[in-house]
Structure 1
């Protein structure tokens, strides 16, 4: 079994460097700096790094060894975080006891370190498994992978297995199912009027969107695994003017793909008739991540990961998460997919986000061994 304990100090040094670089989804310069650091590391062990430039967002990277002629395993990890510029300076990387803290430390800069060191280990131990891997490091996962989805799907062609590097659960669980996600924007046009002298002539867009918000929230059905959330509202021009315009951004989560048609039908029905006569309503949006579902192929992959974990003395449970990830894209392509293969931690997107340091080498060992076994399986009898 692969052992990386002696690499811990080196891994933490790189992790500190990455965490102390701001790389929010909208901060191209910071993400590209992360990409440059990682590119240098991969090139030092003989891998080729192909940069896919982006004008507005950070560049995406596709990484593979020159001898990887027909790799069957893809790894997906993201370089962006949710934190604004200046966060790393305000609360830089630090270690307290068995935990490391800092913006993006577990979501997912620890995973970026884990993937690199898994590759380094396979190269150093001369396991040919590193020739069976293609890595996608994308720059916009936290905002829906709008620019990188097509790249993930392009790399996914002809792949058998997808290993998604979101953080493991606090209990070390891997993610085997996820909800799908959709986003919609509702725009209401009202009729402006002075709120004091001509109140009766106005038609409030804010009032109309408030009625719509209540109706949309009532669509939530926990039993069926459907949630609808109006998470952003804006509108109006001044306190003493009947609001001429209002907008709402709506997040929808579904458990299976069939549900989205009924959800969209109900949303359009709700928005088809204004409650406040004289207002006009427009709705636009779509599903941007399908649900990540179990398949026969993914079940076999899950069992393999759990078997390796058992050999390492780890009980690896399965988890269903409501949050979305890039695993939705690979799963919907029919690729056997397992998510949550990153190190263990918690409180992602929060100021107290943390990494369980002991898991950094453990999960890297698990990843490297999984790649090695998948390569052996593919060379003998493929997972079906």
Structure 2
């Protein structure tokens, strides 16, 4: 089948695509609910075999949901097989069990609503659909495909990062169907994400009888918050946000303890290192107080490398064969694409369906984009 026929073929399969998406969305899978995640991994194993997987390995994870690693050989086996394509998706969501009661799966005005539709069970549906389509149409991509399905992306990928990086080192390129940019643009750059905790220790005292003997941890923290925000450089995309601060106890006591949680976003590894040094140079303003800083970079930046730029140009040419005009851009959020890109693997992200509202109550995807974006992924696997 010529590439140009993939869109009408998959459009004819739209009801089946939506049915698969519904199955995934209605199986709720919060990041920290191992029972729910493992049950979904069971179902996904069946879907992978149905899509033509040559093998599906389950990676046990005592600290969360198990991960899945599927292989689609497409006849490429043995030591002379080309380096595989890597495709990745996560099946955890930010939504707690029971969310379906207030955010049910539904289709209204050409949009599919429901928890996790846009981030990223819609993208997971596209990958399964694209691979099944290649099998059903007897199309043979030039490379085998390695498919990673992970269960902890929404909490920073603490147990899947090593699996992702090890698999990526053997691959030729990576495709990630996270939500696209508005209008469907791919993501060839993402900011890196850092998480830090700052703890402040002061000296307690009675606030009415002898406040002068105390040292307020909250007042010290206020000074530190100003210093932390001063490290930012928005002109080059570097932001620091104290998203949570707390401290003190009884209102008539000079507070002895306070703490803050800091979100860091950077566009380059050099900026990540500068910010880290600056945070570790913070010193107390008030005599008698002390600071303890922990944390660091959670996801390295996905920088737009020459290799990724070249991959995008080849993808753009391939997309033209099915009538799509691809664009590219960057975003402030992180994904598992940050890991593959940081080790030097050409990576394209944002291949998911069109929609909006990730992590929000209006989360949705556009129904008509499902077959088109599935055709795009199938075309890229077939062409790159």
Q: TM > 0.5 between the two?
A: yes
Deviation at 1:68, TM superposition (A): 5.3
By how many angstroms is 1:207 displaced? 1.6
- Please name the residue that 1:78 is paired with: 90
Structure 2 stretches lacking a partner, 5+ long: none
Matched, 1:33 2:33: no
1:249 aligns with 2:256: no
Q: Shift of residue 237 of structure 1? A: 2.5
- Which among 47, 57, 80 is matched to residue 50 of structure 1? 57
How far did 1:181 drift? 1.4
How far apart are 1:200 and its partner, in Å?
Answer: 2.5
- Cα distance, 1:130–1:359 mapped onto 2, change above 3 Å: farther
What does residue 362 of structure 1 align with? 372
Equivalent runs, 1:58-97 vs 2, <5 Å: 58-65=65-72, 69=77, 70=81, 71-97=83-109
8 Å CA contact 1:229–1:250 kept in 2: the answer is: yes
SS in structure 2 at match of 1:4: helix
Alignment partner, residue 14 of structure 2? 8
TM-score by length of 1: 0.92
CA apart distance, 1:310: 2.4
2:30 maps to 1:24: yes
Structure 1 runs, 4 residues or longer, greater than 6 Å off: none
Q: Does the CA-based 8 Å contact 2:247-2:259 persist in structure 1?
A: yes
More deviation, 296-305/350-359:
296-305
Aligned residue for 1:335, secondary structure, equals coil
Question: Which residue is 1:136 aligned to?
Answer: 148
For normalisation by structure 2, the TM-score amounts to 0.92
User: In the alignment, is the contact (CA less than 8 A) between 2:51 and 2:129 conserved in 1?
Assistant: no
- Over the residues paired in the alignment, what is the CA RMSD in angstroms? 1.7
Alpha-carbon contact 1:19-1:92 (below 8 Å) kept: no
Aligned to 1:350: 360
Report the Cα distance in structure 1 between the residues aligned to 2:251 and 2:90, rounded to whole angstroms.
42
Q: Distance in 1 between matches of 2:375 and 2:325?
A: 15
Q: SS of 1:315's equivalent?
A: coil
CA contact (8 A) 1:192 1:244 kept: yes
> CA-to-partner distance for each residue in 1:2-43, whole Å, 9 max, x for gaps?
231121111111211211222221122222222222111112
Q: Distance in 2 between matches of 1:116 and 1:209?
A: 49
| 5+ long unaligned stretches in structure 1 | 375-384
Alpha-carbon spacing, 1:224–1:169, altered in 2? closer, same or farther (3 Å): closer
Residue 146 of structure 1: aligned partner: 158
CA contact (8 A) 2:133 2:378 kept: yes
Contact persistence 2:51–2:128 (CA under 8 A): no
The answer to whether 1:326 aligns with 2:336 is yes
Shift of 1:296: 2.5
User: Which of 295, 306, 313 is equivalent to 1:303?
Assistant: 313
Separation (CA, whole Å) in 2 of partners of 1:371 and 1:349: 29
Find out whether 1:278 has 2:285 as its counterpart: no
Matches of 2:18 and 2:177 in 1, distance apart? 18
Counterpart for residue 125 of structure 2: 113
Counterpart contact for 2:318–2:383, Cα < 8 Å = no
What is the match of residue 229 of structure 1?
Answer: 241
Q: Which one is further off, 72-81 or 83-92?
A: 83-92
Which digits, 9 at most, give the CA deviation of each residue in 1:62-118, with x for residues without a partner? 111365545520011111111222212221111101111111111000111111011
Matched residue, 2:217: 205
